[in-house]
Structure 1
Amino acid sequence: MSYTRPQVLVVGAGSAGVAAAIAAAETGAATLLVEATGHVGGTLARQLLEHSAGFHDAAGNQATGGVGQRIITLLQEYGGSPGHIPDDTAYTATRTPVNHAELSMCEAILLRRAGVRLLLSTPVVGVAADAGVIREVSTETPGAGRTTIEPTVVVDCSGDAVVFHLAGAAIQTDGAAATQPTSLLLKVGGVDFDPLLRYAAANPGDFRSGGRVGSPDDDHVNLWGFGDLLAKGHADGRLSWRRTELHLAGWPTRGEAVLNLTRTAADPDRRRGEAYLVLAEQVMEAVSWFRDYVPGGRRAYLAEVADRVGVRESRRIAGLATLTRQDVAGGRRHAQSVGLGAFPIDVHDAHSPGLSHTDAVAAAYDIPYGILVARDFANLLAGGRCVSTTHEANGSARITATCFTTGEAAGCAAALTALGGHDARSLDAAVLQARLRTRGVIGAR
């Protein structure tokens, strides 16, 4: 295949983009995946997310299958994940710990097996469109310079809806005050988990209720709290920003823990560099605080920092349909469902020390095909956190397991559109659903 004229072009090689590209190629379309960075895996692999989450609903029923489950299964075969394990914090039914580097490699293996063409260090810099059709997508690479790609169908899994933005497609955004904060996750090594976990067991009021405190012999532990220690660190001037909680994902047998603690308000479309400078100082304060205030942290050191500012929310597309808070919280069913979401509505407030709110989702909800489809273009779809949702619904749909699902559905739809000469807006949902069911996608009715 000529990479300049693919039938399906997928932009962004995070969770959604990897799933979209694999699905498109396995459905029979010549598929090109372009990624702005030098690796695949996106936020889950490179922002050091503590786990993949959202694979199961509150009752423990699996909600994400398909490519997402295939990635976890392969990762388990290589020893890079224990699979789905109970969530110690009782926030969700399960968490899925991953070795970040091995996750990226396993995704690359599945891309190669599917026959996907991959271009790395290849950001999209321009889009040409007319009459509601994407005609050309321009990329820029250090070696080849500018390249013009002429795809039949485009799937935007960039997270920031880059193709939609450059094409002038309909976008929905919230005001800067409403957008969730950016963050920079960090991993500390040299942690002695015996005194740390003894502290957690002796101070249950300092942690999320209903949780379980693990053992130093466990491979994986999760703690959500440390509010008293954070308050003391802030009062003593050791932490320049206030937080009422942190999420610690630990590997006791390795003496390592990922800390989800830093945050700052920032325009995620324009000022990530400014956010990075603020967050870098928070990272170093966090490590110093951990050494001096957290039992078992005396020998801790900064082992790794995410390679990008973590963005929870930026542009979202305006699709044929929009997923709402009521859809998510009510477990709403939809005739054109292409998969399920199940994670709580998890909304962080950029201007307060805690979460804005976390709303439990009692049952999985349907993901309608329309939230993946541009309302004003015939050959443009989206997967991942930029799909068409309201601000609150995005708090659930942005989670990585759900991104695998929306990406796979968008990639499969793109292939069917390209191979059949359809308009993506009028694709027969029943045909798409049947294809997704054969791929092991749960909830494609």
Structure 2
Amino acid sequence: MTTVLTPQVLVVGAGSAGVAAAVAAAESGAETLLVEATGHVGGTLANQLLEHSAGFHDAAGNQVTGGTGQRIVSLLQQYGGSPGHIPDDVAYTATRTPVNHAELSMCEAILLRRAGVTLMLDTAVVAVSTVDSVVSEVAVETAGVGRTVIRPGIVVDCSGDAVVFGLAGAALQTDRPGRTQPLSLTLKLGAVDFGPLLDYARSHPGDFRAGSHIGQPSDDHVNLWGFGALLAAGHADGRLSWRRTELHLAGWPTRGEAVLNVTRTVSGYLVLAEQVMQTVDWFRRYVPGGTNAYLAAVADRVGVRESRRILGLTTLTQEDVLGGRRSPESIGTGAFPIDVHDADAPGLSHTDGLRAAYDIPYGVLVARDFTNLLAGGRCVSSTHEANGSARITATCFTTGEAAGTAAALATLGGFDTHELEVGKLQAALRARGVIGARA
């Protein structure tokens, strides 16, 4: 017999956006169910070993992300899993927020429990039924349990890949068909000797991003963006099968650990796995201090920067982001540079810094053709270029929290997502500590 559940709010995906959405919906008084296809919460930031969270501050150092995202960082600090927001060594943004990945996942789970969220792990969405402009049922399969039918009041799709939108036949963006950003698989190395590594960085400033601060072996955290000459040498001698002009290294010198973001392909996991092993071999042979390095961990999922993006009531554009555009329907702010990796080149096609934060309008969360379907995270309604900023984890906390709060207000108020009074949503978000939810 198939189990049937009827939560007021269903959140799909337990990454940064989904956790924030579920916490916000539950704390706003809605019965909230969170389903996640893997066995963990935390998503890309926790389980893809993302180097750190970013986007909490604008270029001038003003905080632009608060609310649940900041609460997660504060709880992680309390448990010793993060130093909080610290200056960005490579001067790409004002700050970065290193995290212990396992402890981040646990802290997010703690907040979910405290909020009263019901969580289903190892649970994938397999079918969506609709009636007119309403998502009426979402079918999920749970490993070892079987099928559950969910009949929600409001659905918040924080899957990253807009899974519910896709299965419902909802409208999607079409500005970059077949030209999305490449995939990566992040890796962590152990037994790295940071003394010689940082000496190399200090003595070869041209091999690293201009304006970089080179730390010390006694530092808890260092951040490096470069190694282009060593990467070129590794490619020239055939040890690296793909070309990269730079890599990003987030290091914990006192622990001898380093996370590397360097692999890249459009072909999938099997290619990335070989690139990971080539990277380890290259690091041992070419990077000073890397002789004894070993592969300590690999992300539990392929890192997807961009896939399906929804077509909402409003679409965030490159001009909105670069111009710091204000919106009377703002539900939060973003400020990370437009960061776009080129699928056909060894570097990035965009690293466009922002002079000021930009507003995120409510309409980018709202399905154009369904009245009980919202999105949060990197699949919100945005152009390819704007998504290069909006996909960052701090901004995902913001859009997720707004979507979860909106879902609760709508279902508890007995109206749909198109009818929601944005001023009421903004007031609720301000009360939650969200920055930039304007009156």
Range of TM-score over shorter length: over 0.9
C-alpha distance in structure 2 between counterparts of 1:99 and 1:238, whole Å: 31
Runs (4+) of structure 1 exceeding 4 A deviation are 174-177
Deviation at 1:143, TM superposition (A): 2.3
Q: Which residue of the partner structure matches residue 73 of structure 2? A: 72
Deviation at 1:223, TM superposition (A): 0.4
C-alpha distance in structure 1 between counterparts of 2:272 and 2:349, whole Å: 20
SS at match of 2:406: helix
Higher mean C-alpha displacement, 175-184 vs 6-15: 175-184
Q: Which residue of the partner structure matches residue 125 of structure 1? A: 126
SS at match of 1:74: helix
What fraction of aligned residue pairs are identical, expressed as a percent?
77
> Any conservation in 1 of the 2:334–2:357 contact (CA below 8 Å)?
yes
C-alpha distance in structure 2 between counterparts of 1:155 and 1:213, whole Å: 42
Decide which of 321, 331, 350 is 1:328's aligned counterpart. 321
Amino acid in the other structure paired with 1:394? N
Aligned pair 1:186/2:179, yes or no? no
C-alpha distance in structure 1 between counterparts of 2:419 and 2:143, whole Å: 39
Question: Equivalent residues in 2 for 1:122-271 (5 A)?
Answer: 122-175=123-176, 177-266=178-267
Deviation at 1:174, TM superposition (A): 4.6
- 1:159-215 per-residue CA deviation (whole Å, 9 max, x = no partner) reads 000000001111114545521000000000010000000000000000000110000
Amino acid in the other structure paired with 1:289? W
Deviation at 1:144, TM superposition (A): 2.1
Question: Equivalent residues in 2 for 1:16-415 (5 A)?
Answer: 16-175=17-176, 177-266=178-267, 275-415=268-408
SS at match of 2:39: coil
C-alpha distance in structure 2 between counterparts of 1:318 and 1:48, whole Å: 30
> Any conservation in 1 of the 2:4–2:148 contact (CA below 8 Å)?
no
C-alpha distance in structure 2 between counterparts of 1:92 and 1:254, whole Å: 25
- 1:119-150 per-residue CA deviation (whole Å, 9 max, x = no partner) reads 00000000000110010000001222111000
How many residues of Structure 1 are paired with residues of Structure 2 in the alignment?
436
C-alpha distance in structure 1 between counterparts of 2:339 and 2:362, whole Å: 23
SS at match of 1:191: coil
SS at match of 2:234: helix
C-alpha distance in structure 1 between counterparts of 2:435 and 2:233, whole Å: 46
- 1:79-130 per-residue CA deviation (whole Å, 9 max, x = no partner) reads 0000000000000000000000000000000000000000000000000001
Decide which of 414, 418, 422 is 1:429's aligned counterpart. 422
C-alpha distance in structure 2 between counterparts of 1:61 and 1:393, whole Å: 21
- 1:63-87 per-residue CA deviation (whole Å, 9 max, x = no partner) reads 0000000000000000000000000
SS at match of 2:374: strand
- 1:223-262 per-residue CA deviation (whole Å, 9 max, x = no partner) reads 0000000000000111000000000000000000000000
C-alpha distance in structure 2 between counterparts of 1:44 and 1:148, whole Å: 29
Aligned pair 1:443/2:436, yes or no? yes
> Any conservation in 1 of the 2:176–2:384 contact (CA below 8 Å)?
no
C-alpha distance in structure 2 between counterparts of 1:144 and 1:287, whole Å: 39
Amino acid in the other structure paired with 1:189? G
C-alpha distance in structure 1 between counterparts of 2:238 and 2:144, whole Å: 48
> Any conservation in 1 of the 2:189–2:296 contact (CA below 8 Å)?
yes
Higher mean C-alpha displacement, 420-429 vs 280-289: 420-429
SS at match of 2:70: helix
Higher mean C-alpha displacement, 139-148 vs 36-45: 139-148
C-alpha distance in structure 2 between counterparts of 1:278 and 1:173, whole Å: 27
Aligned pair 1:5/2:6, yes or no? yes
C-alpha distance in structure 2 between counterparts of 1:141 and 1:196, whole Å: 46
Unmatched 5+ residue regions in structure 2?
A: none
> Any conservation in 2 of the 1:155–1:414 contact (CA below 8 Å)?
yes
> Any conservation in 1 of the 2:175–2:383 contact (CA below 8 Å)?
no
SS at match of 1:402: helix
SS at match of 2:233: helix
Amino acid in the other structure paired with 1:10? V
Q: Which residue of the partner structure matches residue 271 of structure 1? A: none
Deviation at 1:426, TM superposition (A): 1.8
Unmatched 5+ residue regions in structure 1?
A: 267-274
